Amino acid sequence: MKYISTRGAAPALDFENVLLAGLASDGGLYVPEQLPRFTTEQIVGFSGLSYSGLAYEIIRPFVGGTIEDEQLRAIIEDTYADFNHSAVAPLTQLDTNEWVMELFHGPTLAFKDFALQLLGRLLDHFLTKRDERAVILGATSGDTGSAAIEGCRHSDHVDIFIMHPHNRVSEVQRRQMTTVLSDNVHNLAIEGNFDDCQAIVKASFAEQGFLNGERRLVAVNSINWARIMAQVVYYFHAALSLGSPFRPVSFAVPTGNFGDIFAGYIARGMGLPIQQLIVGTNRNDILHRFFSANSYRKESLGHTLSPSMDIMVSSNFERLLFDLHDRDGKAMAELMAGFDVSGEISIDESRWQSVKTLFDSQCANDDETVATIRQVFDQTEYLLDPHTAIGVKAARDCLASREVPVVTLATAHPVKFPDAILAAGLDAPALPHHLQDLHSREERMTVLPNSLAAVHEFIATTLR
């Protein structure tokens, strides 16, 4: 399996090198040259597999022989063995034909664990084989950071630097990152927003002088293809449980960086009968404006009760645009260069109409988010986190057919966001056992200005 850049000018790479790179050298994102596609019979054959058995079947073609099959199987089994639910990604029914898939049973209580527990192990495997050390640089609006730290901190081959927007993540999220005191873990609180942190990550790939050519720079955000690959699995897992491939299923996904829902789009491309992909955004609604009005236009980023989705520039949207532009890297490079200048993209009407046959969207402000948490709790006594609530609202507003089951991805555990739960007039749940003393643990982080130079200086000095 070869991977190509969305901007057409970087060399094609195999899985190992894509994993170890993150962003392509031309500033684009890697995607498979051709998607593996399963027949109906093959998908039927996946029914009844354990989560890790299914993950192995889905992931194997992407890895394309860069890891021996049995070794890959063992890595995947190890990845999901410690999740706190034997089904790994259980479904809970909210109403007739309406479900949530709980993606928060991993160690850091958010869907990021599905990919980052695997990515940490894969990185360690390849870096050990090559006897190399890497610097991981990541941006987080709250969940990727702790999941990346948890997934990678045990590797002797990495130093990990995670930037979060200072004072813009929940206290539980911050403490999940800053209370990890390992020598190879560094938390940077950037005086800016998530987009600023993400821009620093991307710019660092273009300017790697701060590493003196001694270390490889690796991305753990969903710009890294391995993240998307691992997230494809749970779409198959849910759809198979609900009768696929003989029954279509729709998904609603609380969306920020467009990685999670893009994994659903990939699952569909691999043969899963997905009828609708519904994007839910908070009031940072650039994606909703694209899907509802063909206007992907940057606006100022606001702080909401769903802080993990306080994102304006959605990295993975470029991967969708690439497909919408017939996978023409040159056209994409021009489009993205135009976006850098004008802060706006609107695409050819016929292309936009074609994407609308699959995608729909809705946005929710904080009041609507809180009202949905309350409404679902009153109906079912099930407690949604604010991000999932946005997904549920979008599902209820946009579902095209009540006959098709809709699954909302429950992307985080409500315990991470007590402010939203209290605003809904409900009691915040207790922290799980392994985090019980989180609020009394020692924290370590460094506050830095929103400056590429300051971040590079910090990393260079720390590594010296």
Ligand X SMILES: Cc1ncc(COP(=O)(O)O)c(C=O)c1O
Ligand Y SMILES: N[C@@H](CCOP(=O)(O)O)C(=O)O
Separation between Cα atoms, residue 92 and residue 102, nearest integer Å:
7
Contact 318, 29 (CB under 8 A): yes
- Decide: is 260 part of the binding site for ligand X (CB under 6 A): yes
Say whether the peptide bond before residue 245 is cis (omega within 30 degrees of 0): yes
Which is the catalytic residue, given 2, 112, 356, 416?
Answer: 112
Separation between Cα atoms, residue 321 and residue 315, nearest integer Å:
11
In the beta sheet, which residues pair with residue 345? 296
- Decide: is 140 part of the binding site for ligand Y (CB under 6 A): yes
Separation between Cα atoms, residue 413 and residue 255, nearest integer Å:
16
Packing angle of the helix pair 51-63, 69-81 (nearest 10 deg): 140
- Give the per-residue contact string, 206-245, with ligand Y (x = CB under 6 A; - = no): ---------------xx-----------------------
- Decide: is 411 part of the binding site for ligand X (CB under 6 A): yes
- Decide: is 236 part of the binding site for ligand X (CB under 6 A): no
For every residue of 172-238, which 3-state class applies, written as one string?
HHHHHHHCCCCCCEEEEEEECCHHHHHHHHHHHHHCCHHHCCCCEEEECCCCCHHHHHHHHHHHHHH
Site for ligand X in 98-117 (CB under 6 A): 110
- Decide: is 256 part of the binding site for ligand X (CB under 6 A): yes
Tokens describing residue 240: 């198979």
E strands present in 14-157: 30-32, 91-95, 98-102, 134-139
Separation between Cα atoms, residue 464 and residue 462, nearest integer Å:
6
Query: 315 vs 362, which CB is nearer to ligand Y?
Result: 315
Nearest approach, Cβ of residue 436 and ligand X (Å): 22
Query: 250 vs 308, which CB is nearer to ligand Y?
Result: 308
Query: 46 vs 339, which CB is nearer to ligand Y?
Result: 339
Contacts of 348 (CB under 8 A, 6+ apart): none
Nearest approach, Cβ of residue 173 and ligand Y (Å): 8
Nearest approach, Cβ of residue 325 and ligand Y (Å): 22
- Decide: is 224 part of the binding site for ligand X (CB under 6 A): no
Query: 180 vs 409, which CB is nearer to ligand X?
Result: 409
| Contact of residue 387 among ligand X, ligand Y, none (CB under 5-8 Å per partner type) | ligand X
Stretch that binds ligand Y, among 255-263, 285-293, 352-360, 436-444 (CB under 6 A): 255-263
Say whether 112 is catalytic: yes
Q: Positive or negative, the Cα torsion across 337, 338, 341, 347?
A: negative
Separation between Cα atoms, residue 109 and residue 74, nearest integer Å:
23
| Contact of residue 140 among ligand Y, ligand X, none (CB under 5-8 Å per partner type) | ligand Y
User: Judged by CB under 6 A, which of 117, 241, 257, 276 binds ligand Y?
Assistant: 257
Site for ligand Y in 49-108 (CB under 6 A): none
Stretch that binds ligand Y, among 125-133, 135-143, 182-190, 338-346 (CB under 6 A): 135-143
Site for ligand X in 280-339 (CB under 6 A): 308-309
Burial class (CB within 10 angstroms; exposed 0-12, middle 13-18, buried 19+) of 218: buried
- Decide: is 244 part of the binding site for ligand X (CB under 6 A): no
Residues at the contact surface with ligand Y, assessed by CB under 6 A: 140-145, 221-222, 256-257, 259, 308, 315
Active site (catalytic) residues: 112
Using CB under 6 A as the criterion, which residues of the chain lie in contact with ligand X when the complex forms? 110, 143, 222, 254-260, 308-309, 387, 411-412
